[in-house]
Amino acid sequence: MGLLTAFLMLQDTTTAYAAGSIQSSKIATGTQKLIQDATTWLMVLAPVVAGLLIIYFCIRRSAADEMDQKKWNNRIVVAIVSCIGAVLGSATLNLIIGYYQ
């Protein structure tokens, strides 16, 4: 192991630099576009899915007894808060990505 290390240290080493910057690479621009598209779709889909869930929870709440109505009310609140969190999170991420363009 020591002989191999000594051999590698004696070799002429050259530093290789990338031809372009990371900003202009296909991976960086593709990832940036992917995040923008995903956040845009999330901002559209989150309220739609939350609305459908709230409708379903309201229907189930109307058919439930008094004890179960509290559970369905909690589920409705969780659906609303989750929708707000998803939309705000995706909007914030989209805003941050916008600064890199």
Q: What is the pLDDT of residues 33-80, one digit of tens each?
A: 888 888 889 999 999 999 999 999 999 999 999 889 999 999 999 999
Q: How many CA atoms lie within 13 A of 60 on its CB side?
A: 15
Phi, psi angles (nearest 5°) of residue 100: -90, 5
Residue 25, pLDDT score = 75
pLDDT band of 28, cuts 50, 70, 90: confident
pLDDT band of 100, cuts 50, 70, 90: confident
- Tell me how long the chain is: 101
CB atoms within 10 A of CB 61: 16
| 3-class DSSP assignment, residue 5 | helix
Does residue 2 register a pLDDT over 70?
Answer: no
Residue 4, pLDDT score = 55
Per the CB < 8 A criterion, the answer to whether 46 and 97 are in contact is no
